[in-house]
Structure 1
Amino acid sequence: MLTLNLADFSLEHFMACYWQQQPLVIRQGFQDFEDPINANDLAGLAMEEAVQSRLIFKKGDKWQAESGPFESYKRFGKTDWSLVVQAVNHYSPEVAELVKPFAFIPKWRFDDVMVSYATPGGGVGPHIDLYDVFICQGSGRRRWRVGDIGNHKQFAAHAALLHTEPFEAIIDVELLPGDILYIPPGFPHDGVTLESSLSFSVGFRAKSGCDMLSGLADHVIDKDLGKTLLADPKRPIAHQQGRIDTSDLTLIRANIQNLLDNEALMADFAGSYFSATKCALDLQALDDPLDTADMLAQLQDQPLIRTGGLRCFYVDATIDQGVCYVDGERYAFGADLAASLMALCDHDEITANLLAPALNHPEFARQLTDWVNAGYWYFND
């Protein structure tokens, strides 16, 4: 198992002084690091329809970007291009291992592991990300420049590429295998490959208020909630027909605030919203589905492993009722199963002991069997 090596300070110091505040180079954050996937296998993934991938290069002085799947890479030559593949942790258990060293940040904040292969001179151009990222250098070398946060002008270098204007670097570093560069949202950065290399970017979501309000609206509509009408009995006579006065605005705000103050509603929204995956899961449904008895018997002998990228959470406001959220859906099993559901969500690998006493609960046992048959959890035969 990979271990994050912070030689000069503690995780507590990192979270207090760097997380979402300033970029940081972590030399040999992964000691004796070996690529969890090679360039050929990454290129093969980018040939698949279900996998999100892009190839970024320059034609003359103009940036270009193409979306996969790709049939061949020969036309791009041996220099000045990058292949970027999203959510590789969904498809490669070895790449998924890169997530575990960052378990000091909760999974609901995690997004995916993006993997980039670049030839000498390759990069994606200077840009600003709206999420936190740990860029883990694999084989090869890349030079990274990071600027300070500020009012940087951005422009479309291509329809699929948002770049930022030149910036003064506060970090200018060459990353070697095992080095990690942490970049919070808003800091401009630019990486250029010095020799053919692989980079593994462990990204963490940063949702805007607009995103979450949109998600909440969808949740309320889907669940047929929020039907309480705005009411104003004993309203005084209006003398200005076109006016929304202060008391009116308070009434409007209160009607919306009632939704936000509904703890159960917000718990279900947060659990469902953040457990939904951005990219498709690589689910391997069983050709010969197990029945519940067979699944429980097999679980006594070997653990179940969560498939890469599957998101499952619990919320303090509803876990005491035995509620959890798996891949965007709400499941309620009763208060007696709260501890087992916490174990299910907290661990990537679950044993029969961790799930006791839930395995004696018929509804949970049936649901776990359905999840296993669908490929959400699997036995590593």
Structure 2
Amino acid sequence: MQIRDFDVDLFLREYWQKRPLLIRNPWNAWRNPLDPDELAGLACEEDVESRLVTRYAGGLAMESGPLAEDRFSKLNGSWTLLVQAVDHHSPEVAGLIEPFRFVPDWRIDDVMVSYATDGGGVGPHFDQYDVFLVQGLGQRRWRVGPRCDAATPLLPHDDLRLIVDFEATGDWILEPGDILYVPPCFAHDGVAVGDDCMTYSIGFRAPSRAELVEGWCEHQVDGLGDEDRYADPDLPIQSNPGEIAAPAIDRLHAMVMEALSDRDAFARWFGLHNSLPKYAETDWRPEEAVDTQEVRGLLAQGVPLSRNPASRFSFIRQGEQVILLFVDGHCFDCAGDLAGLAEKLCAGSSLVVDPGLSASAEVIGLIAALIDQGSLAFDEGD
């Protein structure tokens, strides 16, 4: 599905991470990509993250999946089902990401899908990430409030971060195909208007400073030797032995900063860290290592390659000739033909490799490695 008449430059300049925006059905032809029964089926599976939020007289209650198959037949009143990473299981839902790829892929998290009965919702809350809320089926009333932060009062609840005093600054009813963009930390509350309400939440991630510092420091510590210690061969006599003198602090601080200041090493670590898959799914991983001769033959025939929708692909340029390709927590140094191939692998969900590259041992080796780790597969049809 394609979005028409959407000014990306204007959106990024005026709205992205600045203020909410309602976009009335901009699709060429909107079609709900997932049946409610399919969503319910996913919520019953062991390897799928799901939540059920029910409304009762005293407020909201949440239970985590997997849900029993007969759970839905026992529900009464208002309730909401939320299922994470549905794009990993449905190509049609994964297709919803494509129009929003003006945001770099490394920022994409997943597509969460919710289904709600009349009055269903998760209450007024705020998130730490950008989200495009696409109304798929039925109607939902969205109210958006001011920006929140860690000091915003929350209701006492074990599972849900609900805002105590929610005052809406915007109030809209979304019809199928409508989109509401909500920046990070803006309060919002969605309530189903009527039954059979489905919403697709295309979420983006942003690492926190704490997460980056912790991960990068831990990575660097693993590579430091025990003999790399503080030294002061030019130690002077101090007037007071109890003082930690400024030259010592300078030297200690320099030891730490030098260990963390290698930008190229940080780039490689971040590529690995950021490409780790959200869930440890192995459905695409073959039971045995792929035969390189078979790979060569399929490439020569022009058989397309498809990316595992659960996989994360990205690359970083290292100089003019080398590209570091990151796929599902693995790094591949790519130069020459491999550099061009790496860029194409990151550009879209499928690729036909130039048959002329089928004679390249490096190309065969890279594709075979990605197939073996479950990130790629040949699309041979039936």
**Alignment TM-score, normalising by the size of structure 1:** 0.90
Pair 1:26-2:23 in alignment: yes
Q: Which residue of 1 aligns with 2:331?
A: 330
Q: Which residue of 2 aligns with 1:296?
A: 296
What is the CA-CA distance between 1:76 and the residue it aligns to?
Answer: 4.9
Q: Which residue of 2 aligns with 1:378?
A: 377
Amino acid at match of 1:368: I
Which region of structure 1 is more displaced relative to structure 2, 252-261 or 127-136? 252-261
Which region of structure 1 is more displaced relative to structure 2, 48-57 or 286-295? 286-295
Partner Cα separation in structure 2 for residue 360 and residue 232 of structure 1: 58
The 5-angstrom pairing of residues 225-236 of structure 1 reads 225=224, 228-236=228-236
Q: Which residue of 2 aligns with 1:107?
A: 105
Q: Which residue of 1 aligns with 2:270?
A: 270
Change (3 A) 1:235 1:287: closer
Q: Which residue of 2 aligns with 1:261?
A: 261
The gaps in structure 2 that reach 5 residues or longer are none
Which region of structure 1 is more displaced relative to structure 2, 101-110 or 249-258? 249-258
Amino acid at match of 2:25: Q
Change (3 A) 1:356 1:210: farther
What is the CA-CA distance between 1:211 and the residue it aligns to?
Answer: 0.8
Partner Cα separation in structure 2 for residue 360 and residue 51 of structure 1: 40
Residue by residue over 1:178-202, the C-alpha shift from the partner in whole angstroms, topping out at 9 and shown as x without a partner, is 1111011110100000122111111
Change (3 A) 1:234 1:263: same
Partner Cα separation in structure 1 for residue 160 and residue 233 of structure 2: 54
Partner Cα separation in structure 2 for residue 338 and residue 126 of structure 1: 47
Q: Which residue of 1 aligns with 2:173?
A: 174
Change (3 A) 1:170 1:356: farther
| Contact 1:63–1:157, Cα closer than 8 Å, also in 2 | no
Change (3 A) 1:143 1:242: farther
| Contact 1:144–1:173, Cα closer than 8 Å, also in 2 | yes
| Contact 1:55–1:81, Cα closer than 8 Å, also in 2 | yes
What is the CA-CA distance between 1:337 and the residue it aligns to?
Answer: 2.4
Q: Give the aligned CA root-mean-square deviation in angstroms.
A: 2.4
Q: Which residue of 2 aligns with 1:365?
A: 364
Amino acid at match of 1:220: Q
Amino acid at match of 2:146: D
Pair 1:220-2:217 in alignment: no
Secondary structure of the residue that 1:155 maps to in structure 2?
Answer: coil
What is the CA-CA distance between 1:44 and the residue it aligns to?
Answer: 0.6
Residue by residue over 1:270-316, the C-alpha shift from the partner in whole angstroms, topping out at 9 and shown as x without a partner, is 11011112223363334676412222322333211111121121112
Pair 1:208-2:211 in alignment: no
| Contact 1:55–1:67, Cα closer than 8 Å, also in 2 | yes
What is the CA-CA distance between 1:218 and the residue it aligns to?
Answer: 3.3
| Contact 1:51–1:85, Cα closer than 8 Å, also in 2 | yes
The gaps in structure 1 that reach 5 residues or longer are none
Secondary structure of the residue that 1:104 maps to in structure 2?
Answer: coil
Residue by residue over 1:98-132, the C-alpha shift from the partner in whole angstroms, topping out at 9 and shown as x without a partner, is 11111111111111111111111111111110000
Change (3 A) 1:234 1:199: same
Secondary structure of the residue that 2:161 maps to in structure 1?
Answer: strand
Secondary structure of the residue that 1:237 maps to in structure 2?
Answer: coil
Q: Which residue of 2 aligns with 1:45?
A: 42
| Contact 1:259–1:265, Cα closer than 8 Å, also in 2 | no
Partner Cα separation in structure 1 for residue 159 and residue 111 of structure 2: 20
Which region of structure 1 is more displaced relative to structure 2, 11-20 or 286-295? 286-295
Q: Which residue of 1 aligns with 2:117?
A: 119
Partner Cα separation in structure 1 for residue 323 and residue 110 of structure 2: 28
Partner Cα separation in structure 1 for residue 134 and residue 331 of structure 2: 34
**Alignment TM-score, normalising by the size of structure 2:** 0.90
Change (3 A) 1:156 1:290: same
Partner Cα separation in structure 2 for residue 22 and residue 232 of structure 1: 54
Match of 1:17 among 14, 18, 31: 14
Pair 1:70-2:71 in alignment: no
What is the CA-CA distance between 1:344 and the residue it aligns to?
Answer: 1.7
Pair 1:190-2:179 in alignment: no
